[in-house]
Structure 1
Amino acid sequence: MKIAITGKGGVGKTTIAAGLARLLAADGYNVIAIDADPDANLAAALGIDPGEAANIIPIAKMTDLIAERTGGTPGTMGGFFKLNPKVDDIPDGLSVKANGVKLLVLGTVEKGGSGCICPESTMLKALLKHVIVRRNEAVIMDMEAGIEHLGRGTSESVDAMLVVIEPGQRSVQTARQIEKLAKDLHIPRILLVLNKVRDREEEEILRTYLPDLPVIGTVLERESIRKADLEGKSPFDSDPDYVSDIKVIKDRLQAEIGEAGGAAETATASS
């Protein structure tokens, strides 16, 4: 199962991504969670201690590693460097492990603009493609709205993109833009997650704004989730109702993708 999660900033992508990763790990999957959002905070949502999370160095910031693997100088554009750097050892060697999940923090390329041809961008895209295409693990990606790291060859191996929306027209408009990008990249399933919803009436109103996109699940707004975020903790460890909402999403994804028995197969393959 390879799932990309995106949406407007602040809609709760990370809350959804962390819950899915934790639940899949609890089911016996080998899980890699990828933080590909410039505002990286997936570590805390997974239950990693905030002090430890603050010390995680994003791959994009590992200038010596990037220079070694690409033969190029990070922070520059053009020139000569490898377009297929060695990355197969990175998921195991540089991930942070917690609660059964391997976390990789990609970071973002700060120079050159969107889609720049530079060593950092090449390294991140090669790593993401390796994890999605080559490795036999469940992959949960917390993406930015622009899905910058997904290239065409990688996106075609993604099983589904979850677009998280919250009550509000800006969130809905961003979802429309993401839908177009995802279709351009031939992602096979584009599914909505309704987040921060106060009640069923609000849920039904949201559904009317994007009637052509299937809703895979709803996560209700709860004070416990906000409090967990404020304290740098995972709601997974303190809010069983939140876990129940995420479980509905997970179960529907497994039914949609056809991997209801995948946990046992993945565990067996890796043992």
Structure 2
Amino acid sequence: MKIAFVGKGGSGKSTLSSLFIRHLAANEAPVVAVDADINQHLGAALGLTEDEAAAMPAMGAHLPLIKEYLRGSNPRITSAEAMIKTTPPGTGSRLLRVAEDNPVYDACARTVTLDGHEEGDVEYVRLMATGPFTESDLGVACYHSKVGAVELCLNHLVDGPDEYVVVDMTAGSDSFASGMFTRFDMTFLVAEPTLKGVSVYRQYKEYARDFGITLKVVGNKVQGQDDVDFLRAEVGDDLLVTVGHSDWVRSMEKGRPAPFDLLEASNRVALQVLQDAADDSYAGRDWARYTEQMVHFHRKNAESWGNAKTGVDLADQIDPDFVLHERLGQQRTGVTGGPLSSPLPTPQPA
């Protein structure tokens, strides 16, 4: 299942994302973690050093390889250059699975061994990152130019009920400038018990209303019942759970994480509540609607800028008979069941 963490800058969404990822890994679930925030903090929250986090490959730098791999033998896509961030899969496309090995993960993902565990108790996750802004981006690029590779991968990723993709999104409501917000079975909005803290919730709730987005609020930095009552009054039944001060998190942020099983019992219970809510949401996924939303945003992007940029009618990339489904993408085959043999190009800079 695909899960997003969103919220106001400074709300603690990267910290909660990392705790949730650690919780899933401790439960032996396959996890792909994606840092899609313009400020890249997830790697450090998962225990990477500053140098290790800086050395993470940027997905955007490998966009030509990603496109060529996902295109496969799809006859509706004439070239990798004709693909945009919303290009949907169709017959002949290559699909990604959470737990498989593939050239996209080889180029863009790194295995992170989670710190703070007892000897012999090793857990790990795959981590991918959009990449930070560089000097050449300043003044000419926006956040959305960075996350296009993430959206393309999510469109081609087939996930099952016991495997997880966790995406740490950008702060605020910027994610609504693309269709990526519809890719998630559950969106956890991290909110502090302040008026500013819940303002992003109101924006997100309004924008998501017409798209069937499952949105739950995680109250963070909650110090007492008055904070809980405030959040309940502001967000109502969308408040799922609250999280308070954590000595474990404070130690982790100082670079001295304790074994994860020493995380406070109340916070471990809160993380299980998040997992249960995500599991329940995935169980109700409508694959046809999921595919239709993908196609809807592809048409919008094609008409507004994609056709002009590529010089082709991108609506022709839509396979009307294709519906993404959990059964597809097994054993790295085409959606018709036949193996794909299109060679991958030598990776080139984007």
Structure-2 residue corresponding to 1:163: 189
Q: CA deviation at 1:17?
A: 1.2
3-state DSSP class of the match of 2:48? coil
Distance in structure 2 (CA, Å) of the matches to 1:207 and 1:167: 10
3-state DSSP class of the match of 2:10? coil
Q: Do 1:70 and 1:82's aligned partners in 2 also have CA atoms closer than 8 Å? A: no
AA at the equivalent of 2:47: G
- For residues 213-232 of structure 1, what are the structure 2 equivalents within 5 Å? 213-231=237-255
Structure-2 residue corresponding to 1:31: 31
Deviations 1:242-269 (A, max 9, x none): 333322322333345449xxxxx9xxx8
Deviations 1:175-225 (A, max 9, x none): 1112223335x14311110011012221111111122x5222111123442
Gaps of 5+ in 2: 69-79, 86-93, 97-102, 113-122, 285-325, 332-350
Normalised by the size of structure 1, how large is the TM-score? 0.75
Higher mean C-alpha displacement, 26-35 vs 230-239: 230-239
Q: Do 2:56 and 2:131's aligned partners in 1 also have CA atoms closer than 8 Å? A: no
Q: Do 1:159 and 1:187's aligned partners in 2 also have CA atoms closer than 8 Å? A: no
Give the paired residue count: 244
Higher mean C-alpha displacement, 86-95 vs 169-178: 86-95
Aligned: 1:66 with 2:63: yes
Structure-1 residue corresponding to 2:108: 94
Query: 1:96/1:187 Cα in 2 relative to 1: closer, same or farther (>3 Å)?
Result: farther
Aligned: 1:46 with 2:70: no
Distance in structure 2 (CA, Å) of the matches to 1:31 and 1:150: 26
Q: CA deviation at 1:112?
A: 3.8
Aligned: 1:247 with 2:272: yes
Structure-1 residue corresponding to 2:12: 12
Higher mean C-alpha displacement, 13-22 vs 44-53: 44-53
Query: 1:195/1:121 Cα in 2 relative to 1: closer, same or farther (>3 Å)?
Result: closer
Q: Larger Cα Rg: Structure 1 or Structure 2?
A: 2
Higher mean C-alpha displacement, 168-177 vs 233-242: 233-242
Distance in structure 1 (CA, Å) of the matches to 2:66 and 2:206: 34
- For residues 64-213 of structure 1, what are the structure 2 equivalents within 5 Å? 65-66=62-63, 81-84=81-84, 89-98=103-112, 99-107=123-131, 110=137, 111-113=140-142, 115=144, 122-131=148-157, 134-136=158-160, 137-144=163-170, 145-148=172-175, 151-152=178-179, 154-184=180-210, 186-211=211-236, 213=237
Deviations 1:117-154 (A, max 9, x none): xxx554343123223xx3444111110123538743x5
AA at the equivalent of 1:190: L
Query: 1:192/1:104 Cα in 2 relative to 1: closer, same or farther (>3 Å)?
Result: same
Distance in structure 2 (CA, Å) of the matches to 1:234 and 1:31: 21
Query: 1:220/1:122 Cα in 2 relative to 1: closer, same or farther (>3 Å)?
Result: closer
Normalised by the size of structure 2, how large is the TM-score? 0.59
AA at the equivalent of 2:109: S
Distance in structure 2 (CA, Å) of the matches to 1:234 and 1:139: 25
Q: Tell me the C-alpha RMSD between the 2 structures.
A: 3.4
Query: 1:180/1:115 Cα in 2 relative to 1: closer, same or farther (>3 Å)?
Result: farther
- Percent of paired sites with the same residue: 26
Query: 1:41/1:190 Cα in 2 relative to 1: closer, same or farther (>3 Å)?
Result: same
Structure-2 residue corresponding to 1:74: none
Q: Do 1:36 and 1:149's aligned partners in 2 also have CA atoms closer than 8 Å? A: no
Q: Do 2:111 and 2:125's aligned partners in 1 also have CA atoms closer than 8 Å? A: yes
Q: CA deviation at 1:114?
A: 6.0
Q: CA deviation at 1:32?
A: 0.7
Distance in structure 1 (CA, Å) of the matches to 2:65 and 2:165: 26
Q: Do 1:45 and 1:233's aligned partners in 2 also have CA atoms closer than 8 Å? A: no
